[in-house]
Structure 1
């Protein structure tokens, strides 16, 4: 069997592994790293290649140990990155370059419709009716979007939410509450086949699927890094957070909301962060200091969103796309029957 796999570490080092396997052992390993690769890196990769020859492909830990023993002065985490790239090749994981993405620019729709579209588009991808999809949200209605397993009572102050016109919408993915006044944050959804994250833990898949946005942020002047489990942060605080839903067939819905500008006083009124929980049920949102993008860039929000789109399109194979009438109709029906209904929104007491 011949195969290729790749993986990016949390600090952005991309490693690809081309392998051949006979009887569950590696008979050929060729490693490469993206970016500026010096002679020391090439030498280290070469030593790891030799060490992996003949190794059993059963688990990442054993492969990482072999790579680390052969290259003891490798950058932190690189031995594990090599092992994961090899293991993904063994499992037949898809590379980014294997996919074509439908890219949908910001279309102004109600927040509940965007949440419903996450389900509609995932259904279409799972059924083979459309490509993997990257899309940016836009909306006019103030909202708090809570995770699938959260309690509204613990997350939202109902009196202040009503006073300031915030609706509450429950999404299908996990994670914490997304505070979403219009024009203050940037939200995107990325829906991909499960083969793209094959062989990755939840934590590894967050870093892998968000690697591109760290470069996109740098292009607009925002210095950021990935922080486990699912945060994008600067030295001053959290810029954005991700949430995921993995469907039974492996399809992954991954979305991120990043703060562009934020009224922290209003946030503290609408959300119950740091207050005593009312319900013993539900996943709590983390109480973290927010560092919005506007602290580092003077670029308007709309321009940042356009830059994100162009950055994604320049990196992967993409086609321009939109929402079909059928997709919007199905999303509207889901808002009526599910995402706008109290029995879904308040399903966690």
Structure 2
């Protein structure tokens, strides 16, 4: 919200800390600098005078100051005995950036949903880059896309070694297609009907001021709401695992593009064949060592067993929840999207140079 009074333009922004309190920023901008700064909300702060410290630390800063530098200014301006409850210097920075329209909220965007669409595995990973760059360039609305698998597949992380992650004998035995995606993280094994995979394409402004670690649960809050509807109490295990008290059910990965787009995608196990997975992937002892478990087969606990529902029912609940929260509209992939994807498969994702870029 913006108001113009005299030579000073006034702004209002809000940020609700995940699991914490609401932080509100009311401020003015005069000659490109922050003025009349008032940080307020339902947080707790000791001593009372520390609130003046925060306002003074922000006053006079250039309006284009980054979230990182805003947070540093707030932290640097606090007296030594100040204690913040339910919020942080970073939360203040996000509220200020939102007020200035440098950061956006879910409500600032119109979202679209692409329902499960069968594609060849190389097309799936190429489409992630196509749609992420389209959103970053402002050529399409932020979009949620559900994948549909046509064949057994392994998708390895951008920086993983092919020889260290994939067992070539298992791949050949089960007719598995191996591709490399643009995001980091670990290898995923999928077969038609055994996983739920989705990609979220958003502008980076949506996570402006959030750390990488905080952006994961922030972008998947709607998923947690979906799982809660299904009777599953899930939580994030830093950095990028989604789990219940019965085991891990999924993992997330991200990629930020140079033009301002952000890809956040997740694969959740529905009915995974753990025996086949361990024959296709090389899951070493070091990978298991920080999980506190002895067997790779126990690392993933499928949604089918935890819900008793068909995979399609779970996906429908997820789509409905996203629509309810963000008023999203359902669309289909266009012929132009598919054409751009196929071009990128030929130029990049289908080539050995990309697939084996880390041998």
Paired residues of 1:27 and 1:54 also in contact (CA < 8 A) = no
Pick the structure with greater CA Rg: 2
1:229 is matched with 239
Partners of 1:87 and 1:228 in 2: how far apart? 27
* Secondary structure of the corresponding residue to residue 182 of structure 1: coil
- Does residue 19 of structure 1 match 2:26? yes
- Does residue 60 of structure 1 match 2:71? yes
Higher relative contact order (CA 8 A, sep 6+): 1
Partners of 2:317 and 2:339 in 1: how far apart? 30
Cα 1:268–1:215, aligned 2, differ >3 Å: closer, same or farther? Answer: same
- CA deviation digits over 1:41-77, x for unaligned, max 9? 57779x68666433326432564688999995835xx
1:74 is matched with 85
Deviation at 1:319, TM superposition (A): 2.1
1:117 is matched with 127
1:279 is matched with none
2:66 is matched with none
Deviation at 1:336, TM superposition (A): 2.6
Count of aligned pairs: 331
Deviation at 1:334, TM superposition (A): 1.9
Partners of 2:93 and 2:304 in 1: how far apart? 36
Given candidates 56, 59, 83, the residue that maps to 2:92 is 83
Partners of 1:65 and 1:317 in 2: how far apart? 40
- Does residue 346 of structure 1 match 2:353? no
For structure 2, which runs of at least 5 residues remain unmatched after alignment?
A: 1-8, 62-68, 292-298
* Secondary structure of the corresponding residue to residue 55 of structure 1: helix
2:5 is matched with none
2:327 is matched with 317
Deviation at 1:348, TM superposition (A): 0.6
Partners of 1:147 and 1:318 in 2: how far apart? 29
For residues 1-349 of structure 1, what are the structure 2 equivalents within 5 Å?
Answer: 1-7=9-15, 9=17, 12-13=19-20, 15-22=22-29, 27-29=36-38, 31=40, 52-56=54-58, 58-60=69-71, 63=74, 72=83, 74-75=85-86, 78-79=87-88, 82-89=91-98, 92-274=102-284, 288=291, 289-349=299-359
Cα 1:330–1:291, aligned 2, differ >3 Å: closer, same or farther? Answer: same
Cα 1:7–1:163, aligned 2, differ >3 Å: closer, same or farther? Answer: farther
Deviation at 1:180, TM superposition (A): 1.2
Q: Is the deviation greater in 94-103 or in 108-117?
A: 108-117
Two-structure CA RMSD over aligned residues (Å): 3.1
TM-score where L is the length of structure 1: 0.83
Paired residues of 1:194 and 1:249 also in contact (CA < 8 A) = no
Deviation at 1:184, TM superposition (A): 1.2
Partners of 2:16 and 2:164 in 1: how far apart? 36
Paired residues of 2:154 and 2:177 also in contact (CA < 8 A) = yes
Deviation at 1:18, TM superposition (A): 3.5
Deviation at 1:200, TM superposition (A): 2.1
Deviation at 1:230, TM superposition (A): 1.4
Paired residues of 2:158 and 2:181 also in contact (CA < 8 A) = yes
Paired residues of 1:7 and 1:81 also in contact (CA < 8 A) = no
Cα 1:329–1:201, aligned 2, differ >3 Å: closer, same or farther? Answer: same
Paired residues of 1:68 and 1:79 also in contact (CA < 8 A) = no
TM-score where L is the length of structure 2: 0.81
Partners of 2:131 and 2:44 in 1: how far apart? 45
